[in-house]
Amino acid sequence: MGDKISTPSSSTGLMRFYDVSASNIQLSPKLVMVAAAAFVIIELLMKAIGL
């Protein structure tokens, strides 16, 4: 039992990465939804005109 490392039960299995989110590209959810909707509309228009 002397070789085992114990961790507090509240943080077992949880990892926190504070610096990772600061270095990633931040996109707002509204921008993603608008871009997805625009892509779908463009695809439907292209299919309607036969491209």
Tally of CB atoms within 10 A around 15: 5
Report yes or no on 3 lying in a domain: no
Report yes or no on 13 lying in a domain: no
- Number of structural domains (the chain) is 1
Handedness of CA 7, 13, 17, 20 (dihedral sign): positive
Report yes or no on 43 lying in a domain: yes
Report yes or no on 31 lying in a domain: yes
Report yes or no on 18 lying in a domain: no
Q: What's the pTM value of the predicted model, to 2 decimals?
A: 0.51
**Both structure tokens of 9:** 């039960």
Query: What is the structure's pLDDT at 50?
Result: 87
Query: What is the structure's pLDDT at 51?
Result: 81
**Residue 46 structural domain:** 26-51
Report yes or no on 46 lying in a domain: yes
- 10-residue mean pLDDT profile of the chain (51 residues): values are 62 58 76 96 94 81
Report yes or no on 45 lying in a domain: yes
Query: What is the structure's pLDDT at 27?
Result: 84
Query: For residue 9, how far is the Cα from the chain centroid?
Result: 27
